[in-house]
Amino acid sequence: MRALRHRLAVLLTVALATSGAAACAGISGESESVTVMASWDPEQREGAAFRATLARFTRETGIEVRYQGVRTITPILRLADLGDALPDVAVLSSPAELARYARAGRLVPLSPDEAIQDHQLLRHDGDRRQPYGVVLKTDLKSLVWYDAAAGAGPPRTWADLVRRGADLRTGGRTPPWCLGMKSGAESGWPGTDWVEDILLHQSGVEAYRRWANGTLAWTSPEVRSAWEAWRELLSAAGMTDGANVERMLLTGWDQAGAGLAGGGSGCAMEHQASFARALHDGYTTFFPFPRFAPGPGGDSTGVEVSVDVAGLFSGKPAAQRLVTYLASRAGQAEWTAHAGGSFFSPRTDLDRAAAYTSDAVGGQIAEQLATTAGNRCLDASDFMPQTVASAFSTAVLEFLSDPAPERLVPILQRLDAIRQAVPPAEWLPDPCPPVTTNR
């Protein structure tokens, strides 16, 4: 076992070296140093802003921090766990994955601190006394970026959006939608965002809640209708022919919207989260995800968000102190100042007017997040157990490769079989938790 752990530790070192690992500061005495792993590339905008925030923490406390930036954090962290080489702090985009470590006893419970708002804390199995994670960052997913040069203003309804894609196609914008599914081992997740947002807006918060917590079948009318509505939109825009299907499957998610603001004949709309602003400067105009016609259970009050959640893998006081700082009002304000409009705080007491003085688009997103705080639903695939989430992403790729109507039911049946095989204890209860406002 010791030899195996040694080999795993060597593999982990190589993986980090080839995944953009970088030090924020050197390591001195062990008791006053902290290692942090997250998915933000230290050489890009998000990672640079995070490192600048860590540097401020070091200057104020004397605690040195080493940052390991790895894009494929889930497999790297699991490898680190096997090799007994876990960081002191890890920041994950999947609450379900962090909960898995909590169930296995690998996390140190966070000490509640008045600097952290209650809704930032995640608690395992409803235990109000033992938070295992703290939300550091929130991004809005229920929006569509578009090229303002493409013509008419934002569509108000889903039917309008479907027609908009068809009109753009007729007008020579080929393809109308910017869509890229490629993302390494996690390919397909941009498509899961489509299904999630459609289901939330078409069938309502309660249906979304039951689906994300494993109590609503994938073969249910609500879930099936969401996939069918997505196919309708793609078909109307001419996205289901061979050339566009191949383009969707082989284009990187971070490259799909590269020409969004370039005008001409390129794609004109992209359903992508607010964190896309860290990729390039083309994300300048957006509209909220459109409404569906009123129906049973349907509403347009819910919005989908993704979160980045920190967990403690060591009992170092310095690590607890770092997490508290990153979640605090001061830490969040520092992070916002360095992020150039690509960071959105989960806190409800941040001075948004001051934070986005020179960034109108960032201010609009921050305001929408604030005004919909009581109706946020976490990204469903981030909330589901990893086996289900991975199968969901794979199903998206299968669906897009040949979106014939008769192929959908077998795909959903396979997903439902996987859902039923997951033990109840692995499902989290509520993807749409209340947010307490504190201004």
Q: How many Å apart are CA 5 and CA 11, to the nearest integer? A: 10
Classify residue 158: in a domain, yes or no. yes
What was the pLDDT predicted at 242?
86
Same domain as 148, residue 110:
no
- 10 Å CB burial of residue 354 (0-12, 13-18, 19+) is exposed
Mean pLDDT of 141-166: 91
Q: Is the Cβ–Cβ distance between 233 and 197 less than 8 Å?
A: no
Mean pLDDT of 346-352: 90
Range of lowest pLDDT (29-33, 90-94, 335-339) = 29-33
- Give the residue, 258 or 10, on which the prediction is more confident: 258
pLDDT at 423 over 80: yes
Q: Is the Cβ–Cβ distance between 253 and 189 less than 8 Å?
A: yes
Cα distances from 312 to residues 99, 111, 215, 367, in angstroms, run 12, 10, 30, 30
Classify residue 157: in a domain, yes or no. yes
Range of lowest pLDDT (289-298, 360-369, 399-408) = 289-298
Mean pLDDT of 332-356: 91
| Digit-coded pLDDT (tens) for 231-247 | 999 999 999 988 999 99
| Digit-coded pLDDT (tens) for 123-135 | 866 555 678 899 9
The structural domain count of the chain equals 2
Classify residue 431: in a domain, yes or no. no
Classify residue 432: in a domain, yes or no. no
What was the pLDDT predicted at 8?
43
Same domain as 346, residue 198:
no
Q: How many Å apart are CA 256 and CA 434, to the nearest integer? A: 34
Same domain as 243, residue 207:
yes
Same domain as 121, residue 173:
no
Same domain as 346, residue 409:
no
Scanning 171-214, the segments in alpha helix (DSSP H) are 189-203, 205-212
Strands 131-140 and 269-270: unpaired
CB 47: neighbour CB atoms within 10 A?
21
The average confidence (pLDDT) of the chain is: 88
| Digit-coded pLDDT (tens) for 157-210 | 999 999 999 999 999 888 999 999 999 989 999 999 999 999 999 999 999 999
3-state secondary structure of 151: coil
Range of lowest pLDDT (11-15, 245-249, 405-409) = 11-15
- CA proximity to 306, closest of 69, 56, 95: 95
Phi and psi at residue 294, to the nearest 5°: -55, 135
pLDDT at 97 over 80: yes
Same domain as 84, residue 58:
yes
pLDDT at 228 over 90: yes
What was the pLDDT predicted at 434?
81
Question: For the whole model, what pTM was predicted?
Answer: 0.91
What was the pLDDT predicted at 437?
54
Same domain as 275, residue 156:
yes
Band of residue 416 on the pLDDT scale cut at 50, 70, 90: very high
* The Cα angle at residue 337 between residues 77 and 40, in degrees rounded to 5: 20
Strands 143-146 and 64-69: unpaired
Strands 143-146 and 376-378: unpaired
Range of the domain at 395: 143-301+386-421
Same domain as 81, residue 149:
no
DSSP for residue 217: -
- Looking up residue 240, the CATH number of its domain turns out to be 3.40.190.10
Look up residue 401 and give its two tokens.
């490769």
pLDDT at 18 over 50: no
Amino acid 367 reads: E
